[in-house]
């Protein structure tokens, strides 16, 4: 009986050690996935900000062109009357 009890205790210790190693490995994988997700999100945010900057520049250019065209058209119409 003493030997079987000793073997059971040893097996339980090995099982606990394996569970601890598996838990550590799973936690490491979860941390890695979180870092990858954060990096992908950061890249998307940078791309979105860059795209927004270009859209603002395009909008400003378009507004300037429309105002200039409107001013030129108004001068031509008013000078004809």
Which ranges of the chain does DSSP label H, i.e. alpha helix?
A: 2-80
The distance of Cα 53 from the centroid of its chain, to the nearest Å, equals: 19
pLDDT number for residue 5: 57
Both ends of the chain: CA-CA distance in Å?
118
* Residues 39-58, mean pLDDT to the nearest whole number: 95
DSSP secondary structure letter of residue 1: -
Weakest mean pLDDT among 2-6, 7-11, 52-56, 69-73 = 2-6
**pLDDT of the residue at 77:** 79
Sign of CA dihedral 64, 66, 70, 72: positive
């Amino acid at each position: 009986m003493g030997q079987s009890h000793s073997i059971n205790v040893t097996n339980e210790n090995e099982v606990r050690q394996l569970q601890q190693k598996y838990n550590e490995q799973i936690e490491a994988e979860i941390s890695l996935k979180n870092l990858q997700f954060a990096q992908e999100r950061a890249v998307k945010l940078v791309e979105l900000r860059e795209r927004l900057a270009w859209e603002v520049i395009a909008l400003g250019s378009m507004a300037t062109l429309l105002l200039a065209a409107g001013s030129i058209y108004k001068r031509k119409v008013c000078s004809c009357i």
